[in-house]
Structure 1
Amino acid sequence: MDTIWFPDLSQCEGSKYKALVDAIRDAIANDQLKEGDKLPPVRELGWKLKVTPGTVARAYTCLTTDGFLKAEVGRGTFVAALGSQKIVPIQPFTPEEWPDEINLLSPLLPDVGQSEAIRDAYLKMAEMLPDETMIRYPSTQRERPARQAVMNWIARLPLGMFDVDDIVLTYGGQSAILSIFQTVLKGATPIVFAEDLTYSGFRHAAQLVRADVVSIACDSEGLLPDALEKACQQHAGQILCTSPEMHNPTAQRTNLTRRKEIAEIARNYDLQIMEDNCYSMSDTDLPSYRALLPKLTWYVSSLSKVFSPSLRIGYVVAPTGRAGDLRRTTQYSHFGIAKPVADLATLLLNSGKVDEIKTKMLGVLRARIKVAVNILGGFDLKWHEDAPFLWLSLPRGWRAASFCRAAEKEGLLVRSADDFALIDGRAPHAIRISVNAHISLACYDDAMVRLRRILLNPPDQIEI
């Protein structure tokens, strides 16, 4: 039977989720709710209690798991039969562990020692003897120790021949992208090539320099060589933006054969390449475009995705002989990297803590990727254990926009494929699900379960 029962949570000072669980359990124990009584719909109860639908859904899920409630597809949620309850104490989750809104839009890294490492570096910086550089503008020579630290850190990567003078420091990866565009692009309306689904920062940087972006079709191995060559024949493209090692948003990796084909086309058309490797968390056994085309490739990365995005420390390994051009652009833009930032980067990289922290971080990320794959693996899911996000092609009945709205109503924020398509491009019905390591593993597990439930229940009506 239906019930008009609504709890009073107005005096609740802690977690609304836990308070609702306690209220329903108490109502069942006191016979306010009896076997077979129907609970209010999620959205109705959420509106009544002034909480998100996701909070109500989590409470219902917990009580269903423990046997106090039962859910019937198409009918609703009901009080379960007496005796079906499990004698399991409710865990006292804090509001931070079970937030009303779970952010799966962008990867949120765990703190596995970064804060302490940064604090220790600050303390060492405070103990440094002051010298005349403290009151001078930054310069190429003064930031050399930071560039040397970067060089030592990436020396094991297959980037081809380079030295410390080929490295240019920037304020994060996005600053590097914009600076490269400002250095490379010529003409009133320059042309940039990019994958048909790609990191939106390429598009935003292109807009700032008034460049047009032409999309290049891809398959499961990355850029299609035929599509790139056709674009080169039809457009005067000056630079190709690509992420062969860890593609954002699909987590795909370009194989060696495809890399060589793309490199040959770029060489034939004198096409420069911007190789974005910001999301790669582990070393690679494949040569980069910088190794295959050392005179045409700008290799971009940063400490944001592997250590902390708050630092805004990025770097570029420039093509042979082009570092001076890029360094001139950065000097004209912001007079170089501030000394405290450069000193901080030097201390962190030379300490060896960045690699230690990256290893710990990978352990946390892999655990969450495993959870997501175990729960969502029955769908068309693309993932890599070292990528902090997953790419999900939506099942029939769902469109990306409507799915994102449905997820948001349940307190889950995911990113639509539309966010990665170019302005005139067509996006598939897909979403990117990012790892959130600011919440507990149990909470992340629950978020994936709720995403799965939404996926299995597409809307009946057709969007027109």
Structure 2
Amino acid sequence: MSVEKNIVTDTISALYDTQNGGPKYRALAAALRQGIAEGVLSVGTRLPPVRDLAWRLGMTPGTVARAYTILTDEEVLIAEVGRGTFVGGTEEPRPPLYQSSPHGHAEDGGEMVNLFTARLPDLGQVAMIHEGLAQLAERPAGALLEYPSARAFAPARKAVVGWLGGVPLGALQHEDVVLSHGAQSAISLVMQAVLRGRRPVVLVEELAYPGFRRAAELMRAEIVSVPMDEYGIVPSALAEIARRHEAQLLCTSPELHNPTTLVTPPKRRREIADAARRGGFDILEDDCTFLGESRDATYRALLPEHGWFVSSISKTLTPALRIGFAIAPQSRRAELRRVAENGFFGLARPLADLTEYLLSRDETREIVRSVRRRNAVYVRATLNVLGGHDLSWHEHAPFVWLRLPPGWRAAAFCRAAEAQGVQVRPGEDFAPRNGFAPHAVRIGMNAQVALADFEAALARLRRLLDNPPEQILV
């Protein structure tokens, strides 16, 4: 162990010795908080590996991992795959994990190819956003001197209704729409409108978008996973789990499941809707990742009293503006609107006006079609390079799901890929904290990288897949 690591370990050990009993993991978490607050564990400090600190403190690695997880969830610490755990809050960034520059390998001092998440190409939307902002600057001064209001935002909400015209949402009026700061904000708004009681239960798929869990945790909800098969959520298991836990809300993405790209067929959706109707719980449908046009009925259409829908422009135009929308059942739109008004009054007026501008233009739809076509090119390139392995994909998905061959586990594969200059997302990010972590990774379509460089990054992944270690890495 290096001198620097010894100093950090000694510091943590001394802080731990001053704690006043209680469960060991809580005492360790308290010691770390104290050290950070007092500045003896400064911003950016790398904490000891779990096993090293566990040996020093005389506790199990699981106890240390639990303390680290608590503080990571609180964003006091930052955990980075393949690099370790750090004290958060630094304004001086460490060497970047997820840069989009395609050149060179990390082990050779080069930069990373970011396949951790999808990256949109600029196909005209940046110039259109600039033009929209310039036009907004010419609007009357009165629009910049008033609080947001439902009446002032009506044109933006109507633009959202028009934008979603091809989505089978059932009866839809602009009053059913609430604008949000991206889809994650929309998910939180729906949960605030739906959940009741001291410890409500939220159901998620056994592999699920992590944002569902984060939003539920903010609501102090209990999160319960529901089994899936090749068609999506298993209705019989859903009904039994919802009954046993008195669940209030199911979060799901039937049109394009994140991360597996699975699409739930119409018959299965009706069975899931029937289970919700009989069980008396609501369904929140997240539609952010699907890039296509053809669709089956949403849960809002299948469950007019209990179906909620959220989406955004992050995967089709830009994630930078944080424009999203939540859509309530018509009989419950006042609940959703009240949550937004009591929480943040509404979007900034210029952002609402920009939403109207962007979603009302024919050019925007053409840009989205171009994004869809470009994404399909990168999906096909991924199939050409990695198709010999266990790959799940969809032409209108901004990612693919890769199940790793024997000899690889997700964390070890991510570290090896990073050493080769490629960032991918481990399957454990989508699994329950105490559940089975699949030996799989999600690979994002980074269309900001030249196609040839994207294919070169995939080729480096292919070499790792074709040559797994002789022993399972942990």
TM-score range, shorter chain: 0.7 to 0.9
- Are the counterparts in 1 of residues 112 and 423 from structure 2 also a CA contact under 8 Å? yes
Instruction: Letter of the 1:111 partner, please give it.
Output: D
1:108 equivalent in alignment to 2:119: yes
Is residue 2:368 matched to residue 1:319? no
For the residues of structure 2 that align with 1:330 and 1:359, how far apart are their CA atoms? Answer: 32
RMSD: 1.9
Select the structure of larger CA radius of gyration: 1
**Alpha-carbon separation, structure 2, partners of 1:244 and 1:346:** 28
Q: Equivalent residue of 2:353, what SS?
A: helix
Q: 1:225 & 1:455 partners in 2: Cα distance?
A: 35
1:123 matched to 2:134? The reply is yes
Q: What is the alpha-carbon distance in structure 2 between the residues aligned to residue 302 and residue 353 of structure 1?
A: 18
Q: Are residues 1:336 and 2:385 paired? A: no
Give 1:57 shift: 9.4
CA distance in 2, matches of 1:118, 1:58: 38
Cα offset, 1:178, TM superposition: 0.8
Q: d(CA) in 1 for partners of 2:122 and 2:237?
A: 42
Residue of 265, 270, 287 corresponding to 1:260: 270
* Residue matched to 1:229: 239
SS in 1 for 2:441: strand
Cross-structure match for 2:299: 289
Q: Which residue of 2 aligns with 1:164?
A: 174
Deviation digits for residues 395-451 of structure 1 (CA, Å, limit 9, x no counterpart): 111111111111111111100110001222212100000011111000001011111
Contact kept? 2:187, 2:326, Cα under 8 Å: no
How do 1:21-420 and structure 2 match up within 5 A?
A: 55=104, 100-128=111-139, 130-420=140-430
What's the CA shift for 1:56?
A: 5.7
Tell me, yes or no, if the aligned pair for 2:105 and 2:421 is still in contact at 8 Å.
Answer: no
Percent of aligned positions that are identical: 45
Amino acid at match of 2:390: D
Q: Secondary structure at the match of 1:237?
A: coil
**Long gaps (5+) in structure 2:** 1-100
For normalisation by structure 1, the TM-score amounts to 0.78
1:299-335 Cα offsets, whole Å, 9 max, x none, are 0001111110011111112012111111111111111
Which residue in the other structure is 2:43 paired with? none
Post-superposition offset of 1:353: 2.4
Counterparts of 1:247 and 1:119, CA distance in 2: 33
Give the number of equivalent residue pairs: 374
Q: Secondary structure, in 3 states, of the residue corresponding to 1:234?
A: helix
Contact 1:104 1:412 in 2 (8 A): yes
The 3-state SS of whatever aligns with 2:437 is: coil
The secondary structure found in structure 1 opposite 2:331 is: coil
In structure 1, C-alpha distance between the alignment counterparts of 2:453 and 2:472, rounded to whole Å: 32
Point out where structure 1 has 5 or more consecutive residues left out of the alignment.
Answer: 1-51, 60-94
For residues 359-388 of structure 1, give each alpha carbon's deviation from its aligned partner in whole angstroms, at most 9, with x where no partner exists: 111121111111100111111100001101
Moved >4 Å (runs of 4+)? 56-59
Q: What is the rounded CA distance, in whole Å, between the counterparts of 2:123 and 2:335 in structure 1? A: 38
- Does the CA-based 8 Å contact 2:106-2:112 persist in structure 1? no
Equivalence for 2:467: 457
Does the CA-based 8 Å contact 1:143-1:337 persist in structure 2?
A: no
Query: Letter of the aligned partner of 1:260 in structure 2?
Result: R
Relative to the length of structure 2, the TM-score reads 0.76
AA in 2 matched with 1:409? A
Q: Does 1:441 align with 2:451?
A: yes
